[in-house]
Each structure stands twice: as structure tokens, then as C-alpha cells.
Structure 1
Amino acid sequence: MELSRRALLSMVPASALLALAEPLRARAAGVPRDPATGEPSTGHLPAGPGGDLARLAANTVAVLAGTAEVDARPEVAGKVAAITGAAQDRLEAMDAAGDGELFQGLGDLGTSDKNLTKSFQYLYEIALATRTPADSNPLHGDEAVQRRVIDGLTWLHDHYYGDQSKGYYGNWHNWEIGISQQVSKILVLLRDQLAAHRPDLTATYVAAMDGYLRNGKDGDVDLDSRFHTGANLADITTDRIMQGAALGDDARVSKAVADQLTVLATIDPYELRHGVTDGFYADGSFIQHASVAYTGTYGTGLLSRVVQTLKILDGTAYLPRDDMAGVVRGWVVDGFAPVIFEGWMMEAVKGRGVSRAKNGYADATTVLEAVTDLAAHSSGDDATALKGYVKFVREAVKVPPDPTAFVSPVTVARYADILADGSVPARDLREASYTTAFNAMDRTVHHRPGWAFALARSSRRISKYEYMSGENLKPWFQGDGAHYLYLSEQDQSHAFGVDYFAAVSPYRLAGVTAPVETRRTVPELYGSQWYDNPDAGFTASSEKQNTYVYFPCATDSHSGGATLGAYGTASLVQSDDVAWAAKQAGRLPDDFVAYRNAGATKSWFLLDDEIVVLAAGVHDPAGRAVTTTVDSRIAAESDDVTLTGRLREGTPWRRPGPAHLAWLRYANADEKTAVGYVFLDAPGAPRGPRATVSLETVTRSLQDVNAANPDTRITKQVFSVLFEQPPGAPATTLAYALVPGATERQLRRYAHGPLTVLANTPDVQAIRHRGLELLAANSFAPGTCFAGPLAMDGPASVLVRRGGDGVTTVAVADPTTERDTVTVTLHGRSLRAVSADDGVRVTRLPGATRIEVATRHAYGRSFAARLR
């Protein structure tokens, strides 16, 4: 039932569209309206040539098409050529169109919403070229071509778009956002031409776009709608600003700006506005779709749209007096910069976008474009810092950004100016070494010179993964502690991106504990891209579909950690997802398929030279075999990959078969990268289980993970080191460290320290690093848990470090986000507080120090105290 959504949505009758169109036509004639009543007004912002609405329209054209001065610059020639080349290709496709097509190859417009949206996109690309004022552009000002665009708009409206009883098939996004984006831009670009040749068409189209905004309210944004949040809200409101500019409609612009400004508000999970959880949080997290970590896809879309709004409102009274640019700079520093490594957007924050052929460099280029423009709307140190970041990314990236991919020629020129400015030093927005705990979206990122580590977790708050629309077909374990270890000096697309997910088994993603079974994708299970059961409340975009199919959350709340300076800890209780729980409770239909997960308690300790991982209680409640993958990496088929290691008894390791490894080293001579793996002794399990190492060559299609990808077949070497538990095996414990860039000599030294595992049970996991004088622990059970001299009233995450100045610093966090207070006691000495964060109380005891932390409503934030 592909069209089931249409039956559930109220249809907008033609009479309502005509009623909407009449006042819009009046506004198109230049009559300004009062923003409160919509009635004609002579005292508000005028739509005349000297008014703010005219400035708004001119700004929009300049943003999209550039200016004569900008487009004449040699650095912009490539962008101009791309614009004109695309337009000429579209005109040729228009000339060759067959029956029922506006462009050759884009048929079935009455049933294919994708082809209809593309048809509008192609018209926009033609219109854009006619407004791009470059001497090298033969289409600039071509009125005949502009008339063809207007005729194309008319034809699409009359045959496929205008009749809303036939429209709104397929994906809601195309009807409410995708088509409107293209049409709104055309209406501004060809504003004068439409006024001269089809003065009614702008109002007619805006009325139709309002009619298709069915997830809104009365043809406008509804801030209480779950479809009008975050990046989607920014898209819709930017479109409506442009529509207002095209119509000369002040009320529409004012309302759209006010609606968009709501996305600038930091999300407070304890005091939600309109029930919305989508947006940026205080710790830099970004969430879309209510529970998906999404900085790298929807987040970049939001960033682009808000900066675009900043540009088109520039110099008008619509630009808010509040520091809009300052809020966005905060997003860049706290939200985007940590999840970009050497110009590559990290996989852990891309939702279903991880399965797309578009790679992390292109995603980060979108951020670079926004930062370039943001710098132009900043001043002083803020502008210098943003420009320095642009240069820093450009120098660090292994695949240089292509500025022709920027939306605006003006941005291309600004980018060239920044790179040529010798007074601006290339500089990251963050230090070279730091840890960022994005606890609001269950992600942790750890940066060190030469490498970065990203960890993806899940909980009752955050989804295990996102699948949708045939994208990310095999996502099942992406939020179960999957990690991504990025190494410097290599093209990251050779190590990660869609090739990684296509080549590596979904059950053997790096860091994942998974049951040994064969799962089926959603299309394989149901013969459709979703579970279609309207009687049970499952339609294409229903809330049940979202909750149980597209992005299910976990069922345990423990997922979080603490940070102390540049160090961190993270922890996770691996659990089933909500679909499995609901199925067992009898709340889902019999034909709905849910999968049970394996269980484990895990900790990650993020240090200078290593990532230490502890796992306890690793088991399968259904008695299946279980695999825990220490790491999986890919390499080109021809790369020189070598594996060396040593056994616990001191002899060299030689494949094949499981073995008690002391250490293992993976090296890729072609990429000049290496990773070491140290297998640690733990209390009660000095030898640990045997590890299995594999290196195989596989060939896969990119369509295996995303139906929208081209059927490109890739061949990769896939390296994995993992622990295998047979069916029915008792729960086991694991302890190991990842050592980026390690040499064999470095790995041999770990036999004598500096790492010590203090505890590794389902109740508490802890390590000590002698060289750093650091103790780090996570407790999972209620009540008091002990780790060396540390006693924790769990659940809790704690870091204790003694500094060279004799000051001991303690950081504490609640990894469940549900506790009111956490108490930690340090035994051995009675210390006094030098300083402490608000909410921290230090009490001196005989031979001990008690630290009480008020974690209520802290949402996983770390609290610190300095003791002497």
C-alpha cells in the first residue's frame, strides 16, 4: 500500500486553494499586509524597490547566482561553468523529452514523486543560469530561456502538481520540502519575468505549496508538528521567506523568520518547547527524528539553511537583533568541529547517511561552506578564528574540498580570499588533544595528534540505528558500541564511508558484540521499504513505524560517561531494542519481526596513547553463539597489509586459529598506517579468551547497504580481530587496548605496564594508568562499588587524576541521566577542596574524602572538584 499516507491525510479542496490564492495575488501586486491581521497596511515594511522586501529578493538572487563582480573573478570561473553546464544539459534534456515528460528520462510524473521533484530541480538549474551575471555565461539574461522555465512551471502545475487530489504520493518530504525548495528559488530568481508574463503564477504556486504543507496548520508552519522540527523546520521556513520575497508579502516573511528562530534555542530535555527534542543541546549534541544522533547529515542541513537565512536577511529589518551568528558559531565550535577529523565527517553522527555513496569529505565541505559565510558575518577574534578553521581544514584534508560544490558563487570568492589571506593563521577551533562527551546523543569523540576515536552508543533516549527509505539496510548494531578509529595522513574514504559498511559484515563492525545469526532487511521481511499495516497503526511515516522500524531506541538507560580535561570514560549496558520488548509484551502484530540482542556491560577509557576497552557479562540470553569484534578495518585489494603479534607465552604469533594473544599489530604500508592491540590481564581472568584474527578479500555491491546507491562493486581486504563464544557458553569478560600508530617495540612494553585492570565485572569496571597517574571507573549497579581506593554509589562514571602540583582532580557523571545525586569516596587520605563546580560538596573524613554531586537534571554532564 504505497499510497496509504494519502488516505490518512485530509485533502485540501480546490475552493480552499482559490481562497488562499486571492490574498496572495494581492500581495504579489505589491500590497503590503499587517503581520498580525493579514490586512492591507501602509505603515509596515514596504515592498517597493527601496524596501526591505526588495533587498531580501536581491540578496537571495546574489546568494544563488552571485554578482557581476564576484562572477568575474577567476576563482569563481569553475562555479560559473558548473552552473551554465548543468543548465545546458537540462535544456538538451528538455528538447529531447517524450510524451508525459518535461525532461528526457524523467517520466511517470503522476506516480514518481522523485522524478517530479527532479523536474522542478532541473527548471531551477536553468533559471539559475539565466540570472548568473558572468561574461562567460551565454544564458545570462536570455528571456527566451526564462520563458521556457515559466512555461515548464505552468505545465507541471496544470498536469501534475496543481490537482491536490492526485498529488502527495510517495515521500511526504518531496511534497512539503523538496519541491517547495526548487519552486521558491525559481519564483525569486524570475520574479520580474513572472510579473511581466504570468503575474498570477507566483500566487498560484504559493497557494499550492501551502496546500501541500499538510503536516502544518492552515497551510503554515505548526511548531507542534513532529514534521516541523530541526533541519526540516529550517528548510520549510527558508522556503517561506523566499516565497514572501517573491510575493512582496511581509507577513509571510516575518512569520517564517520567527518560526526559524526557534531552532536556535538550545534544547532543554527537562523543559521541552512544543515537545521537540530535535536540535542542538548544551553539550553540542544534535538530534533529529526525536532520537537519532544526526550532526553529520540533518545537522549540516540545518547549519546551511540558517546561515543562508542570515545571508538573505542581511541589511534588512528582518534580521534579528539577537546574536544569531554567535549562536551558530557555538554550534560550529561545540557541535561540528569535534566530529570532523582532517576534513572528514565522522560516521557515528550520520544516521542512515552512513550508507550513502556521498562520503565524509563532501559532508564536511558543507560545514566548511557555512563557516566561510559565517566568518563574513562575524567580526574581530570570532571572524579570525572561523577563517583560521577554514584554512586548518583545507591544509589537513587529504582530498581538497571542491568549491564548485558550494551553493553560492559569493562563498567561492570568500573561500578564495580566506586561503589567500596571509594574516590569518591556520588553526583548529579546538586543542589538539581533547575528549567530547556528547551524552545527549550517546556519542563520545576523542582527539589526539595523529588520530581520533568516535564511539556510538544507544539507550532509552537514543536510537540504536536509523533505517529508512531503503537506506542503511543492515544497521542493526551501529549503536551497540560501534567505534571508528581514524588515522592521520590517509584518505579516510579508503578506511570508512560506504565502502566500510558494504565490505564489513554488519555483525562484525568494530567494537560490536553480536549474536551469531542471519537477520533480514526490512524489504526482505515485508516486500516494501516499511512495515505496512495501517490497521495496526503502521504507515510510511507513522509514529509506530518510527518507533519500531526506522529508529528504535534501546531498553536500558545506562549509556554515558565522564570527562576530565583531555581524558574520558564511556560506558554502556547493551540491551534489546524497544521492538523486541514490545513484541514480547504482545503489543505488536504476529507478522512483525523483531530480533533479540546479545548482552554485555562495557567501558571505554580514553587516554593519550590508547583506548582501553573492558567488557563483562558477555553472553546471549537465547543461548546463541556470540562474536565480539575488537576491530575491523578495510584496505584496498592491492595494499600491502601485514599482521604481526606475540602469544601470552612469549612466542611469535602465527595464524591460523584462535590464540591467547599478548599483542597484535595491523599495518598498511601503502596507507602508512598501523594499529596495535594489547590484550590485558584482568582480575579473575588472567589469560582471557582466545582471539581470532582474519584477513580476507571480499567483493560487495554498494547496493547491499543502500538501495539508492549505484550498483558499484568494490573489492576490499577486510581485517578483523575478534572473540568468539560458542552456543550456550557462560558469560565471559574481555580486556584489551587499541593503540593507534603503535610499533612492535611499543606493544612489547605493555607487558610491564602502564595499564592495570582494577575491576571487570557487570557491576564495576576500572583501570589505572601509572604513567598518567589516572584512575578511571564506571559502576553499573545500585549501591556501593569499589575500584582500588575508590568507592562509588552507582551507577556512576568517575575519573581521578593526581597532578604534578599535588592537586588531585575528580570528575563525576551520572551515565543514566536519571539520578539525583552521586556519591564518591576516595580512601587513603583526607583532602580539602581547592575548588569545585556548582553542585559539588566535598567532605573530609578520617582517612577518606567524600564527594557528593547533585546530578539531577544534568543530563550526563561531568562535575569536577580539585582536592589537595
Structure 2
Amino acid sequence: MHGYSRRLFLRLGGAAVAGGLIPTAGAAHAADFALLRRRWQDVTAGAGFDPAVEPYRTRLMRLGRTAAGYRDTMAPAGTSLWPGLVFPSFAENTVRLQAMARAYALPGTGLTGDASLGAAVATGLDHYRRQVYAAGARPAGNWWPWQIGVPKRLLDVALLIGPHLTDRQSRALSEAVDHFVPAWRLADYSGNSTGANRVDLCTVTLLRAILRADPDKAALAVSALSPVFPYVTEGDGFYRDGSFIQHTSVPYQGGYGAVMLSGLATLFAVLRGTPWEITAPNIFDMVERSFAPFVHDGFCMDLVSGRGIGRDPYGDHKRGRMIASAILLLGDAAPAAARTRWQGLVKGWAVRDTVKPMLDEADHLGFHARLAAVLDDDAIPAAPEPAGHRLLPMSARAVHRGPGWCAGLSMASSRIGHYEHGNGENTRGWHTGSGMLYWWAKGHGDQYSDSFWPTVDPYRLPGTTVSTKRLADGAGGGWGDTCPPGRWVGGATDGTYAAVGQHLNGFESTMEAFKSWFFLDDAVVCLGAGITGRDGVPVETIVDNRRTGALLTLDQKAGWAHLAGHGGYVFHGLLRTSRESRTAGSVTRSYVTLWLDHGVDPDAAGYVYSLLPGATPAKTRARATDPAWLRVLVNTARQQGVQVPSLGLTAVNFWNAGAAGGLTASAPCAVLVRERGDGTATVTVSDPRRDLSELTVTWDRPVSRVLRGHPLLVGATTGAKLTLRWGRLSDRGGSSKTITVRLG
């Protein structure tokens, strides 16, 4: 069969499937299931490339050699499949079988359609099924391999080798899958059967349906997806603000979310044009609302990746490629306008990822082919980085993009955990929710990628305020069950600037703090107040902890510091610094740390500093010596606010009702005002605590009229000052509401 063309091979494979392995489908669905098999192969193994052209030729021949080695060394025995390989293994054994099956199914491997290879895969698959994954076996350990990981891979293998799996073997595998993933597993949308897990379980059910040409199972797989698509207001799933939550309290676009997006893109592609085609348009909205904000220059930010952040070096770039691949695949099912935007979006990411060039690192042949086509198409412009602010209050996350830089903020709240650990992963991520401020300027795409997590001091994560009390590895509940009591977490944004705040309760600590970040064009102004603690240890605010060996210039008297090639810092008080090399295993990385020491058991301590990403020493010095640029209006445990006259900006986080900077609020809220040069102004408010039935905000500034209101604005009084009466904000998820006024 070495001389068969891809088209002929698929035609023969389809005929064999239709004639030999669809005993229950009947004529009505035989063609449908033959199409599903072909579609599945195209999506999972790869399609759309010329196997004689590089790099496909080399990759395919390498796959063939690897598969041949696996075939020649496989020796099924009672306690092994390959001599010396751990057995039973949920990963390596099935991965080898999958590589062999792909070498059989793909063109150009030198083993395409090879009967001996197909037979060897069938033998190995059935042996693994009998010895490990047999109907009636008792699942040991974590549930995931038994219900998702193993069956998904085994069924993929079975579909790829087609007629080489006998009816008896096919039936036995189906019975095993039915044992571990019974139909009732999809009846209740709760526990481990939500979000990305539900999509995976439905994928397993669909593959089981394709294997035995079972239309009822196919219908079940698709119908059981229905709870995944609606927006949620609590628990796992997508929120209207773009948040995606898994494990109840963990923002997870970069982990489970990416898996879910990839799984849905696959199902859309496989089922398109069949009786089980999926229609769920809101998933198209989530591409740009939920995923794109957290992808920067090709990598997915760690602040939405849960316990997986330290899993692999450059894992953030791997997650970015996974999201990009899913978006391009999903584009085939999306409206034309969305598909065009997404192609430009992914092209922009790929062009800007110089750390791990996306095309070079694209290991899936289908993704490589799609991405290469987009990059080669001059009619598709690469989308630039979007400017402005995205605040996702329901997941306590914020992303800000200014000219040439980007920042991400992760917080914890009464509904979002400080961190997630589980399966032995991320056991020292305790303080990632304590206001960690990630930032990237030009050329910093590997700042948190290159062994940052195993080597960084976990008590000194940038942006955080922490008690230095020592903590045990894996302290607190697992799987994100580490939510503090603080409810005021979120803020107000007009889409360009933002006032973000966190009422921080230290992790397993008596420490408490009120932290605010004001995101501007070229700076993040950071305020802290009401910092108290009774742990008997120092409390610190980490201005930054940069993985670099760059030169640090410090002018303590003038209140500024500059890190060469990175950016500048303007501060008040004594800034402490250190330079160290930290080692984990065989890896050593250099760090420069800047922090403010609040002392042992502080009482109402505070801080003010500004981060200037990408700034030169001259710009940093100039900002530090310009008292007119920034006015700190108030910095207490009741309110925190700033005024930036050059931007016409006044912003206040009201932890309690009160007044500051000409703004008065009747209840806890966030307010951001921008006066524009055309005689108008915008007023933005939000209810971060999500508990206000009414709110009155007054701005002591002459206003002639309201130009653009909002449905929740129930009353407005203009004249010598502006008074705004807002209705029920509590059920709006902490989102920002903006009105426009004409100044008097």
C-alpha cells in the first residue's frame, strides 16, 4: 500500500468502514459515519498539506521511523506492551500506539496503510484494553485518565486504523468505554462533568458512537454539550464579561479553557454538515472576549492557567499555540467576518512571537498548514496589539495594553482562589492572587516563561503584598479552594484607563491590605493602605522581581530606579533592592528584586509607587521630579484615588462611602472620570462588591447636561455639580457603566 495516494487511501478506508465496521448504522447513517471518520482523521492527525514539501516531508518520515521502531520492539506480555516501559501507563503506552496509528493513516510516512503496522496497532490496542482498560476493571487513582485521557486516545487509535480492528475488538473497546463513561455520566451537569471536562466527555462519547456507528450515542454526545454554551453567573463556565472559570474558583482560559476551545473547534469541524451539526454562536463571541485578551505576542498569560503554570518551560507559549490552533480551526465554522478577524489576530501573534516562533513550533501538521497559509496570504493583515484595558471582575483579572507594553493583574476574592494546586503541581503558588502584577515591554516575551516559576522566590512575586510567614507546600485547600473573604475586588474602566482594587486578606495570614492600581498610557500607579498584620513577621510589598541580570540604577533621594532594558520605577519612601541567583534542579536564573518593607506586624502601613514599562532612565527621572504629573488624592483604608491632570483623569476606589477629589459616593464603589478636550467628560462607575440596590455619585464640577446615559441611570441632576443616581447594580457582575456629559 506504499504507493496509494491520500485520496485513494481515504476512499478505500471509507469503503472498508462502511462495509465492515458499521453493523448497526443502517443505510440511513452509513454515509454519515464514514464522513465522520474521515473528518476525525483530518482534524486529529492533520490535513491540508503536501507531504512531499518541507517541513512536512521530514516530519512525516520521522514519524514513520518512530512508528516502525515502536512496531518492531512491541512485545505484548501479561504485564507489559514494550519491554522496559512502565505498564500499565496512562500516557506512554497509549502515546506510542497513537504515533503508530498516525503513521498508518497519514501520507508520506513510508508506512501509510501498511498492513503489518495496522495489525500491530490493533494487537497492541486490544492487549492494553484487556490488561488495563477492560469493562469491569476498577479505576485506580485520579478519575480523569479513565474517563477522558485513555479512552480518547484509544478511540482515536481505533478510528485511524479502521478495518484492522476486528468487530470483536471494536465491540470490546466500546463496552470498556461504556463501563467507564456510562450514559448517566452526561445526565448531570455538575462535579467533574462541567466546562472543559464535559466537552471531553462528549468527545469520548462521540468517538465511541463513530466506532460502532451508533446514532443514539452521537445524538447523546451532542445534546450533552448544551449546558456548556449558556453564560453562567456562578461556578464553571463562561461569564458575560469574558471570564472562564473551572474548578469553581480558578480563572482558566489558558488551561481548561484552551482544552475546551480546542475540543469545541474539533467537534464543530467534525460534525459540520451531518445530522448532528452543532450550532452555538456565543462560542464565537468568546474567542475575542475571553481568550484573545490573555494572549500577548503568541503566549497565553499565566494568570489564567491555574496549577499548570510551572508544568513546562515556555508552557505559556505552548498554551498560546493551542489557543491559536483552535481559533483557526473554529474559523471554518464561524461567519466569514469573524473568520477574517481571527486569521488576522493569529497572524499578529505569530509575527510578534520571536521567542518561540509559532510556525516553527507548530508540531501539529494541520495547524502548521493552516498557519502557514495565513502567514503567506498578503490579503490577511496581521492585527496589531489592541490598546486599552480589559477588566474581568468575575474572575478578578485585568489586562492593560499601552504603547509597546502590556500588563496583567491577578487577584483573589470571595469567589476566586488565591491559587490552585493539585496532583503535586504549583504547590508554592500561594501568593499569585495577592495582586501579582505581570508586565511585558518589547523583547520580554520570555520573562515568565524561561524557568521563572521553579526559580522565583514564591514570597516575592511582583506586585504582591504578603506576610513573610512561612507556608507549607500545598498549603490550603486543593483545586482552587483558597478563596479569602474579601468581596471588594474589581474596579471601573472606560476601556482605555482603569481603576482596579483589591481588598486583600493574606493567604493563611492575619495580614490585611487595600491595594489599588491605576492603569494609564505609560504607567501603572500603585497604591496600598491599611496594611496590618499580626503574624510576628515582616510584611512586604514587592515592587518588582524581574528575571534578569540587567543593571539597576537607583536614586534613593530622588525616588526613582531604572532597570536597563526593562523600565523605570518612581517611589516614595525607602526602596530595598537585592540581586541574586536562584537554582531549581539544574536550572539557575538571575533576579533583581525591589520591595518596600512595612516592618513586623505593621499597623495601617501604606505605599505609593509607579511602574513605567519600557521607560528610559531620562523619562523615569523626569517623571520622579515632576510633582504636577500625579496627585495622590487619598490613600487610606476608606478610599484610594489619584488625579492625572494631563489626562483629565480622576479615579477613586471607594472602599467605604465618602468623598475624595471632588467625587462623593454613597456606598462602596469605583469611579473613574475623564475630562476631554472637546468640552465633554465621561463618568464610569462599578459595584465591585456586587451588592448595591442603589448608588448616588456626585461630581463637584459644573455640568450642563447628560449627552449619553445608561439604562441603570435612574436620575441625574446637572448644574453647579453633577449628581447621578444609579439603580440596581448588584446583578451586573461588577461591570463598568459609563455615561457622557457636557461640561458647564
Q: Fold match, TM over 0.5?
A: yes
Q: Aligned partner of 2:482: which letter?
A: P
Could you tell me how far 1:550 is from its partner in structure 2?
A: 4.8
| 1:192 maps onto 2:89 in alignment | no
In the alignment, the residues of structure 1 paired with residue 364 and residue 452 of structure 2 have an alpha-carbon distance, to the nearest angstrom, of 32
C-alpha offsets along residues 153-178 of structure 1, whole Å, 9 cap, x if unaligned?
2222222221634x311211111111
- Per the TM alignment, residue 92 of structure 1 is displaced from its structure 2 partner at its CA by 5.0
Please say if residues 614 and 736 of structure 1, whose CA atoms lie closer than 8 Å, have aligned partners that are also in contact. Answer: yes
Corresponding residue number in structure 2 for 1:60: 40
Q: CA deviation at 1:85?
A: 4.3
Shift of 1:64: 2.6
1:377-396 matched pairs, under 5 angstroms: 377-396=333-352
- SS for the counterpart of 2:116 is helix
Provide the secondary structure at the position in 1 that maps to 2:509: coil
SS of alignment partner, residue 507 of structure 1: coil
Choose the corresponding residue for 2:473, options 512, 517, 521.
521
**Is the contact made by 2:298 and 2:358 (CA closer than 8 Å) also made in structure 1?**
no
Amino acid at match of 1:758: L
Correspondent of 2:178 among 210, 228, 247: 210
Please name the residue that 2:576 is paired with. 692
- SS of the equivalent of 2:23 reads coil
Verify the 8 A CA contact 2:78 2:131 in the aligned structure 1.
Answer: no
Superposed, 1:92-131 pairs within 5 Å as 93-94=73-74, 100-109=79-88, 115-131=89-105
Choose from 652, 673, 679 the match for 2:571: 679
Paired residues of 1:796 and 1:815 also in contact (CA < 8 A): yes
Q: Helix, strand or coil for the counterpart of 1:370?
A: helix
Equivalent position of 2:111 in the other structure: 139
Match of 1:31 among 24, 33, 38: 24
Which of 108, 112, 121 does residue 149 from structure 1 map onto? 121
Per-residue CA deviation, residues 577-636 of structure 1 (Å, 9 max, x unaligned), is 6xxxxxxxxxxxxxxxxx32521001000000100010001121334321111111012x
Give CA deviations for 1:49-86 in whole Å, capped at 9, x if unaligned. xx212211111122233459743444533542453344
Counterpart of 2:652 (choices 774, 777, 782) is 777
User: How far is 1:852 from its partner?
Assistant: 2.2
Contact in 2 for aligned 1:28/1:249 (Cα 8 Å): no
For 1:208, the aligned partner's letter is A
Matches within 5 A, 1:358-373: 358=313, 359-373=315-329
Deviations 1:334-363 (A, max 9, x none): 111111111121111110111111421111
Residues 791 and 825, structure 1, Cα contact 8 Å, conserved in 2: yes
- Matched with 2:245 is 287
Q: Output the CA distance in 2 between the equivalents of 1:121 and 1:469.
A: 21
Amino acid at match of 1:798: V
Residue in structure 2 matched with residue 267 of structure 1 by the alignment: 232
| One-letter amino acid matched to 2:329 | D
Decide whether aligned partners of structure 1 residues 663 and 247 sit closer, same or farther in structure 2, where only a CA change above 3 A counts.
same
- Give the counterpart letter for 1:791 in structure 2: T
Structure-2 change in CA distance of 1:500 and 1:813 (3 Å): same
Q: How many corresponding residue pairs?
A: 720
In structure 2, which of residues 458, 463, 478 is the aligned counterpart of residue 506 of structure 1? 458
Task: Give the Cα separation in 2 of the matches to 1:554 and 1:70.
Answer: 54
**d(CA) in 2 for partners of 1:699, 1:163:** 47
Q: Which amino acid aligns with 2:131?
A: H
Moved more, 793-802 or 746-755: 746-755
Note the 1:241-640 alignment, pairs <5 A. 241-269=206-234, 277-320=235-278, 322=279, 324=280, 326-358=281-313, 359-403=315-359, 409-428=365-384, 432-490=386-444, 492-493=445-446, 495-497=447-449, 499-522=451-474, 546=478, 550-576=480-506, 595-635=508-548, 639=549
Equivalent of 1:731, from 604, 607, 612?
A: 604
Letter in 2 for 1:421: D
Q: Is the 8 A contact 1:514 1:597 kept in 2?
A: no
Question: Cα deviations across residues 196-223 of structure 1 (Å, max 9, x unaligned)?
Answer: xx2122222122112113xx654x4133
Going from structure 1 to structure 2, the CA distance change for 1:743 and 1:697 (only over 3 Å counts) comes to same
- Equivalent AA in structure 1 for residue 37 of structure 2: A
Match of 2:553 in 1: 644
Q: Structure 1 residue 840: deviation in Å?
A: 1.6
State the secondary structure of the residue aligned to 1:554. coil
Residue 537 of structure 1 corresponds to none
Is 2:571–2:609's contact at 8 Å kept on the other side of the alignment?
yes
SS of the residue 1:481 aligns to: strand
Amino acid at match of 1:562: A
Going from structure 1 to structure 2, the CA distance change for 1:267 and 1:46 (only over 3 Å counts) comes to: same
Structure 1 equivalent of residue 594 of structure 2: 721
Amino acid at match of 1:335: S
Partner Cα separation in structure 1 for residue 326 and residue 59 of structure 2: 17
Contact 1:813 1:861 survives alignment (8 Å): yes
Task: Check 1:824–1:90 CA distance in 2 against 1; reply closer, same or farther (3 A cut).
Answer: farther
Alpha-carbon shift at residue 758 of structure 1 (Å): 0.2
Residues 75, 412 of structure 1: 8 Å contact kept = no
1:294-317 alpha-carbon deviations (Å, 9 max, x no partner): 111111111111101111112312
Equivalent in the alignment of 1:863: 737
Picking from 665, 676, 679, the partner of 2:562 is: 665
CA distance in 2, matches of 1:333, 1:484: 21
Whole-angstrom CA distance in 2 between matches of 1:602 and 1:611: 13
CA distance in 2, matches of 1:163, 1:828: 74
Inter-partner Cα distance in structure 1 for 2:211 and 2:482: 41
**Cα gap change, 1:89/1:734 in structure 2, threshold over 3 Å: closer, same or farther?**
farther
Q: Which amino acid aligns with 1:376?
A: D
Distance 1:836 1:72, change over 3 A: farther
- When residues 27 and 789 of structure 1 are mapped into structure 2, their CA distance, relative to the original with a 3 A threshold, is farther
* Partner SS for 2:29: coil
Flag the 1:79–1:223 CA change in 2: closer, same or farther, 3 A.
farther
Provide closer, same or farther for how the CA distance between residues 89 and 690 of structure 1 changes in structure 2, counting only shifts above 3 A: farther
Task: Sort the Cα spacing of 1:139 and 1:261 in 2 relative to 1 into closer, same or farther, 3 A.
Answer: farther
Is 1:47 aligned to residue 29 of structure 2? Answer: yes
Q: Distance in 2 between matches of 1:64 and 1:178?
A: 15
Query: Retained in 1: the 8 A contact 2:699–2:723?
Result: yes
SS at 2:187's partner residue? coil
Q: 2:195 aligns with which of 230, 245, 254?
A: 230
Q: Give the residue type in structure 1 aligned to 2:532.
A: H
Q: Could you say which residue in structure 2 is the equivalent of 1:763?
A: 638
For residue 697 of structure 1, give the secondary structure of its aligned residue in structure 2. strand
Percent of aligned pairs with the same residue? 27
Q: Could you tell me how far apart the structure 2 residues matched to 1:432 and 1:632 are?
A: 26
CA distance in 1, matches of 2:360, 2:268: 21
Task: Report what 1:201 is aligned to.
Answer: 169
Structure 1, unaligned runs of 5 or more: 1-25, 33-41, 110-114, 270-276, 526-530, 532-544, 578-594, 651-661, 668-672, 681-688, 702-712
Q: 1:825 to 1:372 in 2, by over 3 A?
A: same
TM-score, length-scaled by structure 1: 0.79
| Matching residue of 1:164 | 136
The 1:506–1:404 alpha-carbon spacing in structure 2 relative to 1, beyond 3 Å, is same
- Please state if 1:848 is matched with 2:721: yes
Q: Is the 8 A contact 1:342 1:488 kept in 2?
A: no
In structure 2, distance between residues paired with 1:86 and 1:852 = 69
